[in-house]
Amino acid sequence: MFTSTDILFLLVSAFLVMIMTPGLAMFYGGLAGKRSAVAIMMQTMFSLGWLSILWILFGYSLIFSSNTGILGGFFGSSKYFFLYNININTIIGQENLAFMIYQMMVAVITPVLIVGAFPNRFKFNSFIVFLTAWFFLVYVPIAHMIWGNGIFQQWGVLDFSGGIVVHASAGFSALAAALYIGKRKYQEKMPHNIPLIILGMGLLWFGWFGFNAGSALGMNSIAVLAWINTQISAAFASVTWLFLDIAFRKKPSSVGFMTGALAGLVIITPAAGYVSLQVAMLFGIVGSLVSYFAIRFKNKMGWDDTMDVWGVHGMDGFTGILMLGLFASIGATGALFGNGMFFFKEFIADISLSIYAFLVTFLILFIIDHVMGIRISHTEEMQGQDKAEFDEEAYQD
């Protein structure tokens, strides 16, 4: 039973997670070229409206209601469609409603992480269809399987705040999008606005405390643990990336420091409430190393995942789950503490759902492309998506 303090805590956490979406818009907008900054920020912010509607009408119920039918391990029921059967005048109703609001903000930001893979390429009307299909076919079943008493949760798989549900699913989907859509024909100068990147990352970092601590679902010791582990991992990761840049670039990089902080936040997300403070330091260091060299590998392969969604979110979400399977010591026992079966379960869920996200995303893109097309024209790409599709510009030259 939640107390009124727990409900307040969940609502404050939801506010913090909500601010991450405009933070992501700023982060991506600064990383983009100046002729596609408005488009990528609009694609990101659009989710705050459209995904909220889909969540309220169908998404919450399909993830968090029970379903005893043949698909019960993969989808919930229609019990809470249109938010029916949630009575706001009862304690139980407040619990459900506060939890629904918090999870809505998590659902809003997850699909638009993928946006960083294809700036100045994806037609906006096709993007709306993609966003909708991805939500129902990727996010909903994965979230239900892990968090909604679906097949993997029943098996004992843990994911504190979304290493698989949010980051691995979006990151491997971003790789599928980058490979399917292909490279940019016009290479804008990127990033075009470093102060905007820093401000956006600041909002993401700030909001992440709600993202991770809020998953404790109350004002308790696990929330405090998740809060400090979030800061520890981000701090160690950001400074590790700075040293890597000095070693390989021969100069520090502000964008690199921000990317390192993001890597640290991503990798600790699935484990924030399950590992010790000392292990969180290791998470941060490993997070930077994994992302740094994943991005170098991506560049060597020539994949145009423009803002390294796979390298940061995909690889660190994936790695964070594996490290959880090894190092869990609070509320769960990892392989290094004698529970090898827990690591095996985490590994199976991690790899199978990452592959699922990649393949389904590729299929969604294939269908949309053959029905209505995906890429803007070469002329529009040269002109810039901001002017071509929105008749707006970030800057009046």
DSSP 3-state of 251: coil
pLDDT at 1 over 70: no
pLDDT value, residue 36: 95
How many angstroms separate the CA atoms of 1 and 91, rounded?
Answer: 8
* Phi/psi at 333 (5° precision): -125, 120
pLDDT at 166 over 70: yes
Q: What is the mean pLDDT of residues 310-331?
A: 98
User: In this predicted model, what pLDDT tens digit does every residue of 208-250 receive, in sequence order?
Assistant: 999 999 999 999 999 999 999 999 999 999 999 999 999 999 9
CATH class as words, domain 4-390: mainly alpha
Of 47-56, 93-102, 104-113, 271-280, which gets the smallest average pLDDT? Answer: 93-102
pTM for this entry: 0.97
User: In this predicted model, what pLDDT tens digit does every residue of 280-294 receive, in sequence order?
Assistant: 999 999 999 999 999
Q: What is the mean pLDDT of residues 182-195?
A: 90
309 closest CA partner among 106, 50, 44? 44
Strand ranges inside 50-182, DSSP E: none
DSSP 3-state of 11: helix
Element (H or E) spanning 52, and its range?
Answer: helix 37-54
pLDDT at 255 over 80: yes
pLDDT value, residue 2: 77
DSSP 3-state of 182: coil
Map out the domains of the chain as residue ranges. 4-390
Task: Describe the crossing of helices 194-213 and 4-31 by its angle, rounded to 10 degrees.
Answer: 160
How many angstroms separate the CA atoms of 124 and 115, rounded?
Answer: 11
CB-facing half-sphere around the CA of 176: CA atoms within 13 A: 23
Structure tokens at 104: 């809505």
User: In this predicted model, what pLDDT tens digit does every residue of 68-80 receive, in sequence order?
Assistant: 877 889 999 999 9
Compute the residue count for the chain: 397
Please list the residues that pair with 122 across neighbouring strands: 375
How many beta carbons lie within 10 A of that of residue 396, not counting itself?
4
368 closest CA partner among 176, 144, 142? 176
pLDDT at 118 over 70: yes
